[in-house]
């Protein structure tokens, strides 16, 4: 991406976040992601695959008119970002409108976000997750926690303010550490009882108040599997919309190969075990799937989850060291 293009888009978005009038103006040239009770709208393309629906302002107004809603309803959208061509992108919750009438007008369908993730591309999944997260935050922060009075949003939705207490609330994420532990030749994966059958993932946990990334990571591994890790290596981060907004901080870590005996916290985990390079490569080659009703063979989270990135990186590293 060209640097100046990126900087000018960033400055443009900054202005839209801060200037209510400019943001209202931008709604007119915006692209809109629709959600019905937080389920995003997908549309089937000519080639038969689903994509995230991005409606133009004029199309959205037309659709609202068809289902009997005033076009000023568009002002309830929240600013998400902008495309490479500086078209602003917004999310809008249409849960009060008739679902099937909307689906018909938009020639699409509202799909639960977890299911939608299996149907769309990686780039779209980050945007659709952000859109849902922002809607959810606004839906659950309508009142000031100090005074109980209603909070009022700015036009872009980058904050809400209580005029009675003067407190400004900003959208929140909860920091979560996720770590792939290796003993040099195997890696440790675990599953919670609520995971889909057969899926194992890297160890994860919410950061406690006041903790560093490193402290949270050491603590979570000790709590969940009774091991002491070393050689922490940062891999990357990701916003994760489930169950609410988590900010996933992903790392690699190692344990001493003589101290690999796991001692599972059964309240948290159903199982945790060491997987060989061969088992991992096989699991990575399986296509990402929505495994409802399928038999519980071992599989790993799909590419849109940062757990998959960690596992992939570990496998690549192993491959190199085996040559
Ligand atoms: N994107 C990815 O690749 C992955 C994402 N995750 C996400 O990481 C998150 C945390 O993982 P867990 O191992 O379940 O966490 P965890 O090991 O901290 O256990 C969850 C428990 O922590 C407590 N808790 C503390 N602070 C909390 C907060 N702010 N919100 C909710 N619960 C809180 C609750 O009692 C909850 O039952 C989950 O939301 C999960 O969806 C987990 C694995 C992979
Ligand atoms: Mg955990």
Residue 115 has pLDDT above 80, yes or no: yes
* pLDDT attached to residue 291: 57
What's the predicted TM-score (pTM) here?
0.92
Q: Does the interface predicted TM-score (ipTM) exceed 0.90?
A: yes
pLDDT band at 118 (very low <50, low <70, confident <90, very high): confident
- For a ligand 1 pocket test, name from 206, 248, 266 the mutation site with the most ligand atoms within 8 angstroms of its C-beta: 206
Q: Would you state the pLDDT for residue 286?
A: 80
Task: Please count the other Cβ atoms lying within 10 Å of the Cβ belonging to residue 303.
Answer: 15
How far is the centre of ligand 2, averaged over its atoms, from the C-alpha of 16 (Å)? 38
CB burial readout 153-187, b (16+ within 10 A) else e? bbbbbbebebeeeeeebebeeeebbbbbbbbeebb
Q: Which ligand is nearest to the CA of 207?
A: 1
Residue 261 has which token pair? 């005996």
Predicted confidence at residue 123, as pLDDT, reads: 83
Does the pLDDT of residue 153 top 70, yes or no?
yes
Higher pLDDT, residue 120 or 34: 34
d(CA 179, CA 189): 9
Q: Which of 10, 16, 53, 18 is nearest to 32 (CA)?
A: 53
Average pLDDT over residues 11-23: 97
Q: Mean pLDDT, to the nearest integer, of 238-249?
A: 94
Q: Per mean pLDDT, which range of 90-94, 291-295, 311-315 is the poorest?
A: 291-295
The pLDDT confidence band at residue 290, using thresholds 50, 70 and 90, is low
162 CA → ligand 1 middle, Å = 30
Dump pLDDT digits (tens) for 127-145.
999 999 999 999 999 999 9
Q: Name the maximum alpha-carbon separation found in the chain.
A: 68
**Residue with the nearest Cα to atom 12 of ligand 1?**
205
Q: Cβ–Cβ contacts within 10 Å for residue 291, how many?
A: 16
* Residues in the ligand 1 pocket, defined by CB under 6 Å: 174, 176, 178, 201, 204-206, 238, 240, 242-243, 246, 248, 268, 301, 305-307
Cis ω on the peptide bond leading into residue 276 (within 30° of 0)?
A: no
Q: Is the pLDDT of residue 121 over 90?
A: no
pLDDT tens readout for residues 185-200: 999 999 999 998 899 9
Q: How confident is residue 294, by pLDDT bands cut at 50, 70 and 90?
A: low
| 286 Cα–ligand 2 center, Å | 25
Reply yes or no on whether the pLDDT at 3 is more than 80: no
Residue nearest ligand 1's atom 25 by CA: 206
* Per-residue pLDDT, 268: 96
What pLDDT sits at residue 313?
Answer: 98
59 membership: H or E segment, kind and range: helix 57-66
What pLDDT, on the 0 to 100 scale, is given for residue 295? Answer: 67
């Amino acid at each position: 991406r060209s640097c100046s293009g990126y900087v000018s888009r960033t400055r443009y978005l900054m202005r839209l976040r801060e200037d209510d009038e400019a943001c209202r103006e931008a709604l007119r040239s915006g692209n809109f992601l629709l959600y019905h009770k937080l389920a995003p709208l997908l549309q089937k393309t000519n080639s038969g695959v689903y994509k995230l629906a991005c409606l133009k302002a004029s199309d959205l107004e037309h659709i609202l008119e068809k289902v009997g809603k005033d076009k000023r309803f568009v002002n309830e959208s929240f600013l998400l970002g902008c495309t490479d061509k500086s078209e602003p992108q917004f999310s809008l919750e249409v849960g009060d409108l008739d679902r099937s009438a909307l689906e018909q007008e938009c020639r699409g369908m509202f799909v639960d976000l977890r299911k939608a993730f299996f149907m769309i591309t990686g780039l779209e999944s980050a945007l659709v997750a952000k859109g849902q997260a922002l809607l959810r935050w606004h839906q659950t922060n309508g009142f000031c926690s100090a005074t109980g009075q209603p909070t009022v949003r700015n036009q872009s939705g980058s904050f809400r303010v209580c005029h009675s207490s003067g407190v400004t609330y900003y959208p929140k994420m909860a920091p979560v550490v996720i770590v792939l532990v290796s003993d040099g030749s195997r890696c440790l994966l675990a599953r919670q009882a609520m995971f889909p059958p057969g899926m194992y993932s890297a160890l994860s946990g919410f950061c406690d108040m006041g903790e560093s990334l490193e402290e949270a990571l050491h603590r979570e591994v000790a709590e969940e599997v009774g091991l002491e890790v070393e050689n922490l290596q940062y891999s990357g981060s990701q916003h994760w919309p489930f169950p609410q907004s988590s900010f996933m901080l992903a790392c690699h870590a190692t344990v001493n190969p003589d101290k690999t005996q796991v001692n599972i916290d059964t309240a948290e985990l159903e199982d945790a075990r060491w997987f060989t390079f061969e088992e991992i490569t096989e699991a990575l080659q399986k296509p990402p799937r929505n495994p409802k009703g399928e038999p519980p063979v071992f599989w790993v989270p799909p590419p849109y989850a940062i757990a998959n990135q960690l596992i992939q990186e570990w496998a690549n590293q192993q491959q190199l060291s085996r040559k």
